[in-house]
Structure formats: C-alpha cells, structure tokens
Amino acid sequence: MNPRSTVRRTSAFQANALGHYATPPHKAILVAPFSAILSSLGYNQVMKLVIFAGGTGTRLWPLSRKNFPKQFIKMFNNKSTLQLAVDRVKKPFGLNNIIISTNEAYVSMTKSEVPEIPVSNIVGEPEKRDVAPAVGLNLMRLKKQGYKGPVALLWADHLITNIAGYLELLKTSEDFVRKNPTKMVFVGEKPRFADNNIGWIKIGGELTDKGFYAYKSWKYKPDFDACADMYKSGEWVWNSGYVVEDLDFALSLFETLQPELFSGLRRIYDALGTSKESQVVKEVYPKLPKVSHDNAISEKVTGDQAVVFLADIGFSDPGTLYVLKKALESDESANVEVGLTSLSDSHDTMVFNKEVGKLVAGIGLDGMVIVNTKDAVLVVPKNTKAEEVYLVL
C-alpha cells in the first residue's frame, strides 16, 4: 500500500460595529422612462435573492464546527459553498440584488468570504431561531425598502453542477411568479438515489407552463425503506429547499399560517429605519418562535397556493458525509480519499484525513465513512442518519 496525500475525485441593514441592522436609505435610480415608471410603482425589474448562510453544520461533524461551519469550508476547488453560491448568481442578477442572511457571529466571516457583496446586504440574525424567523426578517427588510416582486430563497451549502440549468430555473420561476403572484414555486430535483437525509416532494401532472407540476405533499427525511420506495415510484422528487415567491404573498402566508411569528416580525418592521431599529431587533428576534420554514410555511400551503418546478441541475446538499462523498465522486463504487490515506480492497468508502503527518489506512471496507481531525475521529456506515451523529464541538 502506498500512502497518498491527495484529493481523488472524478467530478466535481447595513453591518456596522453597533449591530447589523442599520437599513440604508432607499434611493430610486432612474435609468430610462420605463424604469422610472416601474420604480415609482415600487416594482423592481431584477428579482431579489436571499442566500441563507447561518447554519452550524451539525450534520457534517466533525468537519464542520460551530466556530467554522460547513458553508465556509473550502472543499471544492479551493472554494467554499458560500462562495460558489454567490458566484453562480452574481453576474446575471447583480451583487446589489444578492442578500446574505447569516448568524450575527458569522458576519465577519461572511464579509471575508464574499467581500464583493455590499456590506448593507449582509444581514446578521442576533440569535439562531431556525429558518422561518430568518426568512421573515429578510422579507420584512425588503418590504421596508419598498421592494415589490419575486424573491428567491436559496442556500449557501449546496452544490450545483448544471449552472446554466440552475439560472434558467430561477429565471423561469421568476417569470411564473410575476404572472402568478399568489403561487409559490418549490424547486424539486430529479432524484439520483434514495437520499433519506433530505426532504421529498410528491408531484402531480405537468401544468400548461412547461416544467411546472402540480404540488401534492411533502415528506421530510423519510426512513430508508420508505425513501427507497419513493425513489422507485417516480412520483416523488428531492426537495432542493429553493423557493421563489412574491414578496407580498409570502408575507401574507406568514400572517395567516404563523400569526404569533408575524406579530413579532411586524414589530421589527415598524422599527426598521428608525433610531430604535437595533434595540427592537435585539429584543424581539430572540423571542420569535423557533421553527423551520418547512414546518411553518411550506408544509402548510395547499395545492392551490404552490407548484413544483422540476429541475435537473446536479443538485446535492453535502450536509451529510456520505452525500459529500457522492458530490466528490460520481461513481458510487469508487472510493474518495482526502489527505494522507491508504485504502486496500475497499469500495464505496470515503476517508477524510485533516491531520498532517498521520496516516489513516483501511482494508476490506465497503460503504464506510471515516473522518479524522486533530481532536476527533468518526467511523460510520454510509447510511447512518445525520441525527445519529449529532455532535458539534
């Protein structure tokens, strides 16, 4: 066995010192007469994109830690998934239309990772309250700034291999929402395997708008047997977590489906742009109900309020170690070795060694994941659910 120290793969509002909530003044920029008319109506020609980057990466332990979560780790061509998320959309949508929502503790790290993003577009959540409050906070900020139109909710920790397809789905979904402002678009991905660490969406027949399907139901992280059946059925697709929706419609769903949460968000809205903004956000936000956007909104909408755009963009959420392995190596039977490693007579196994000067070796392994860091070692079968490895140091 010859140790290797290589990576093997075959594919590949305004932040300030006092708080991160000072809302910049809204300025209308008149480019042409038609743009002036749109601006006077509060309508923006370019969709706003909110990229959520506040997670602690619990499912990717021990690679991901609270003080340096997965969205900041440079694992793909020496870039982090946050950097890749911004790279994908900055040219077609423009930096001014990209908002990064993160935990207040990660604001400085976010600035360093994506310095091209305007500081005023980096929103620091004062406390981790799950995704629904974070979505609501950003929707309220856009509303206060006078924005009207579609908003895309995106994620900082995903991988996309078909960038052209990804941009096309965003544009197609934006156009759909402009024509159908009382419907939200869930983006489903054609499943490539039975992934039981993400959610699934059941779809109906294709609509008259090409690529869009009727929305039937959700299933979040089914057990492996159920997941295998869903994969074979052809009626279920991966839930990418991406949503495109009209700003006002999105806020109306919060008001109807989550009145307690909406009440707190409304208090924040009233304070935005005033001298009490920072004080009210820091007082109210930590008391908002702690609930995911899926549980709060997405799972409660009806088939009349949502559709599914079926994409094939090479989406993966490397939030679990085995999905990370699949993202690094498209051939399931092949191994992935990162760092000083040596595998013999082994298949479908990933060894991720971050400790310099120490060899990690394996013989006769099949479907295993091994991670070695300076202070932790993890050895698990590939189908271990993320919740069973729920440690973050």
Domains belonging to the chain, first-starting first, are 42-319 (3.90.550.10), 322-390 (no CATH)
Residue 32 gets the label, from left (phi > 0), alpha (psi -120 to 50) or beta, of: beta
For the cut 70, the answer to whether the pLDDT of residue 191 exceeds it is yes
Phi and psi torsions of 154, nearest 5°: -125, 175
Count how many Cα atoms sit within 13 Å of the Cα of residue 229 in the half-sphere of its side chain: 5
User: What average pLDDT does the segment 69-88 reach?
Assistant: 89
- Please tell me whether residue 59 adopts helix, strand or coil conformation: helix
51: part of which helix (H) or strand (E)? strand 48-52
DSSP letter assigned to residue 53: -
Mean predicted confidence (pLDDT) in 366-374: 93
Question: In whole angstroms, how far apart are CA 109 and each of 66, 137, 392?
Answer: 12, 21, 19
| Average pLDDT estimate for 210-236 | 92
Residue 34 contacts residue 40 (beta carbons within 8 Å) = no
Whether the pLDDT of residue 246 is over 80: the answer is yes
Alpha carbon distance 252, 246 (integer Å):
10
Arithmetic mean of pLDDT, 296-301: 94
> Does residue 335 have a pLDDT over 90?
yes
Give yes or no for residue 317 having a pLDDT over 50. Answer: yes
pLDDT of 242 higher than 80: yes
Higher-confidence residue of 53 and 23: namely: 53
How many other CB atoms are found less than 10 A from the CB of residue 226?
A: 15
Q: Check: CB of residue 294 under 8 Å from CB of residue 184.
A: no
Per the listing, tokens 């950097």 go with 83
Query: What does the DSSP assignment read for 101-167?
Result: EEEGGGHHHHHHH-TTS-GGGEEEESS---HHHHHHHHHHHHHHTT-BSEEEEEETT-B-S-HHHHH
Query: Would you say the C-alpha torsion 122, 86, 34, 142 has a positive or negative sign?
Result: negative
Distances (CA, A) of 141 to 23, 259, 279: 8, 18, 16
Of 167, 52, 48, 153, the C-alpha closest to 110 is 52
19 pLDDT higher than 70: no
Helices (H), the chain: 33-40, 81-93, 107-113, 131-144, 163-179, 224-233, 247-257, 259-271, 277-284, 293-296, 321-328
- pLDDT, one tens digit per residue, over 38-55 is 445 555 579 999 999 988
Q: At residue 240, what are phi and psi to the nearest 5 degrees? A: -70, -20
Residue 34, pLDDT above cutoff 50: no
Q: Rounded to the nearest 5 degrees, what angle is found at the Cα of 199, between the Cα atoms of 175 and 259? A: 70
Overall average pLDDT of the 65-82 stretch: 85
Predicted structure pTM score: 0.82
Range in 113-127, 170-184, 242-256, 313-327 with the lowest mean pLDDT:
313-327
Quote the pLDDT of residue 98.
Answer: 98
| Average pLDDT, integer, range 354-372 | 94
